[in-house]
């Protein structure tokens, strides 16, 4: 008696199992959330939004504020207004603030010499509040003027819903008479998670050297003074941190009673950089690493579920929308249109790359009554096309459109000769 072959049955089971895994992955990608008041994640290069959980509501950001302060300090260095080795005078206010027991700080003594580099490292690594104040006073003369500069900077980045009242991110409770004018005792800096991502993207793009500081886990502050101090980064995800994750090299933590435990993180892996934002990790009362736990989940979600894929090819007819253009006085009535370059989009695993939304933007300065006048050259640019996944409603950090490519003419169209033009005029009269 021959044994029955089990291979077909096994194959069917495997196929059904794989299909179920695909369904589970798709649901997992779509249903992902973080245990925080807000979460946000982007591709650092393009600004493509990978995740948005209440990311557009302003919330407390605490010491994440220092990313804006860092940007303005680095910009002042770039413009040669200050230098890394420049000595920074310590005001009485900064000195007093540096010794407030419950605040994150390094001790600043007025008769000691500190450089811009010393204080910048203290601000980023140790989240030293008084160091942020001292740098603000150096750059702008006083902290209030520096706050005005911070407000102007974020406004230039398109951020209009932020509340910025100091350079450190502290609650006004700790600032006393040094509060920004017309602010209340319990006021704090507020930004949305999207706003934080915008700041982080600009900081990393314009001044990538900040990552050389933000990736440091431990360092001695002001070793050549009479008050050197061991600094330890509050970012436990960097190398040698207790929540270390390969590829994480920034960026900034923040904690106040109002803001909760916050973290804007960044990871570089497999040739791509992701920026994540967690505002008020809700499990912080039970787990001091809650913000890093949620950041780890969010980073893994982005790196696992989102990939860049080519959705259209160069020379391809637009998948939808306008595919031809009327030609005036040409030997052909219409010219076919093609895409000038391949279009790559960030695609989540559960999205259909064939389901595209196409938006055509013609250059009407080249047209006459929606037609192009012959002669028409091959590969003549007549506008642009933006391409977006129909299932993707997350958009980009500061814009809604997808990737853009040139819209070109596929072929040349010669101009009709005088006899052909006359004949066309005659036939049009009787049409």
Percent share of the chain, pLDDT over 90: 84
93 and 172 assigned to the same domain: yes
Residues 182 and 263 in one domain: yes
| 252 marked as binding residue | yes
pLDDT at residue 415 in the model: 86
Average pLDDT over residues 154-163: 98
pLDDT of residue 28: 57
Residues 396 and 327 occupy one common structural domain: yes
Residue 89 lies in a domain: yes
Based on the domain organization, do 335 and 256 belong to the same domain?
no
**By the 8 A CB rule, do 202 and 216 touch?**
no
What pLDDT band is residue 227 in, cutting at 50, 70 and 90? confident
Instruction: Say if residue 1's pLDDT is above 50.
Output: no
The answer to whether position 1 is within a domain reads: no
Are 80 and 149 in a shared domain?
yes
Q: List the Cα angle 295/217/283 in 5-degree steps.
A: 30
Which tens digits make up the pLDDT trace of 26-68? 445 679 999 999 999 999 999 999 999 999 999 999 999 999 9
- For residue 24, is it within any domain? no
- Mean pLDDT over the full length of the chain: 92
Q: What is the mean pLDDT of residues 178-202?
A: 98
Q: Residue 291 CB: number of other CB atoms within 10 A?
A: 32
Do residues 233 and 108 both lie within one domain?
yes
Domain that includes residue 368, residue range: 313-419
* Residue 22 domain flag: no
Domain harbouring 102, CATH code? 3.40.710.10
What end-to-end distance do the CA atoms of the chain give, in Å? Answer: 83
3-state DSSP assignment of residue 396: strand
Residues 52 and 201 in one domain: yes
Helix (H) or strand (E) run with residue 40 in it: strand 36-43
Whether 3 is covered by a domain: the verdict is: no
Q: Are residues 85 and 184 in the same domain?
A: yes
At which of 305, 325, 355 does a domain end?
A: 305
Q: Are residues 68 and 127 in the same domain?
A: yes
Nearest-angstrom CA–CA distance, 268 and 329: 55
Which positions ≥6 away from 181 have C-beta within 8 Å? Answer: 144
Residue 294 and residue 245 in contact, taking contact as beta carbons nearer than 8 Å: no
- Among residues 292, 299, 310, 241, the alpha carbon closest in space to that of 272 is found at 299
Question: What average pLDDT score do residues 346-357 get?
Answer: 95
Domain assignment present for 277: yes
| pLDDT score, position 427 | 72
Of the candidates 123, 129, 122, 119, the residue with the CA atom closest to the CA atom of residue 83: 119
Q: Is the pLDDT of residue 20 over 60?
A: no
When pLDDT is averaged across residues 400-412 and rounded to a whole number, the result is: 89
Residue 13 included in any domain: no
Residue 201 lies in a domain: yes
Which whole number is the average pLDDT over 370-391? Answer: 94
Please say if the pLDDT value at position 78 is more than 50: yes
Cα–Cα dist 137/132, whole Å: 9
Last residue of a domain, one of 247, 281, 305: 305
User: Does one domain contain both 363 and 215?
Assistant: no
pLDDT value for 29: 67
Count of the separate structural domains present in the chain: 2
Q: Tell me what the mean pLDDT of segment 193-208 comes to.
A: 99
Residues serving a catalytic function are 63, 66, 127
**Does residue 209 share a domain with residue 97?**
yes
Please say which residue of 266, 288, 305 terminates a domain: 305
Whether 237 and 295 have beta carbons less than 8 Å apart is answered as: yes
pLDDT digit string (tens) for 267-312?
999 999 999 999 999 999 999 999 999 999 999 999 999 999 999 9
Q: List the CATH number of the domain containing 415.
A: 2.60.410.10
Determine the 3-state secondary structure of 7 from DSSP. helix
Q: How confident is the model at residue 399 (pLDDT cuts 50, 70, 90)?
A: confident
Same structural domain for residues 144 and 217? yes
pLDDT average, residue stretch 206-229: 96
Arithmetic mean of pLDDT, 167-183:
97
Contact 252, 214 (CB under 8 A): yes
State the pLDDT at residue 417.
Answer: 73
């Amino acid at each position: 008696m021959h044994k029955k072959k089990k291979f077909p049955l096994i194959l069917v089971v495997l196929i059904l199992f794989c299909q179920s895994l695909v369904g589970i992955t798709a649901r997992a990608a779509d249903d992902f959330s973080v245990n925080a008041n807000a979460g946000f994640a982007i591709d650092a290069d393009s600004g493509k939004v990978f995740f948005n959980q209440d990311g557009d509501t302003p919330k407390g950001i605490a010491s994440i504020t220092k990313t804006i302060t860092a940007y303005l300090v680095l910009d002042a260095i770039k413009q040669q207004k200050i230098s890394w080795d420049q000595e920074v005078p310590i005001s009485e206010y900064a000195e007093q603030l540096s010794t407030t027991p419950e605040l994150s700080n390094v001790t600043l003594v007025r008769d000691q010499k500190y450089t811009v580099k010393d204080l910048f490292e203290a601000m980023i690594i140790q989240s030293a509040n008084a160091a942020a104040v001292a740098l603000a006073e150096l750059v702008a003369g006083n902290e209030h003027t520096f706050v005005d500069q911070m407000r102007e900077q974020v406004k230039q980045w398109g951020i209009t819903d932020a509340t910025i009242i100091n350079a450190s991110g502290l609650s006004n409770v700790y600032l006393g008479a040094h509060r920004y004018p017309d602010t209340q005792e319990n006021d704090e800096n507020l930004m949305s998670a999207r706003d934080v991502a915008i700041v982080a993207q600009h900081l990393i793009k314009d001044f990538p050297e900040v990552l050389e500081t933000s990736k440091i886990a431990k360092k001695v502050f002001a070793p050549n003074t009479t008050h050197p101090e061991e600094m330890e980064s509050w970012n436990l995800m960097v190398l040698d941190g207790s929540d270390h994750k390969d590829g994480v090299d920034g960026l900034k933590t923040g904690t106040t009673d109002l803001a909760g435990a916050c973290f804007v993180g960044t990871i570089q892996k497999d040739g791509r950089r992701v920026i994540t934002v967690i505002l008020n990790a809700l499990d912080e009362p039970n787990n001091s690493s809650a913000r890093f736990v949620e950041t780890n989940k969010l980073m893994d979600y982005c790196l696992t579920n989102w990939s860049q894929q080519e959705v259209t090819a160069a020379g391809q007819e637009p998948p939808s929308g306008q595919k031809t253009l009327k030609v005036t006085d040409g030997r052909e009535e219409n010219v076919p249109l093609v895409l000038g370059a391949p279009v790559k989009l960030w695609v989540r695993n559960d999205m259909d790359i064939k389901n595209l939304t196409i938006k055509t933007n013609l250059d009407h300065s080249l047209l006459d009554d929606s037609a192009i006048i012959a002669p028409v050259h091959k590969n003549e640019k007549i506008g642009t096309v933006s391409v977006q996944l129909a299932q993707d409603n997350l958009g980009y950090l500061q814009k809604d459109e997808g990737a853009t490519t040139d819209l070109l003419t596929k072929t040349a169209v010669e101009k009709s000769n005088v006899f052909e033009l006359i004949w066309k005029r005659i036939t049009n009269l009787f049409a």
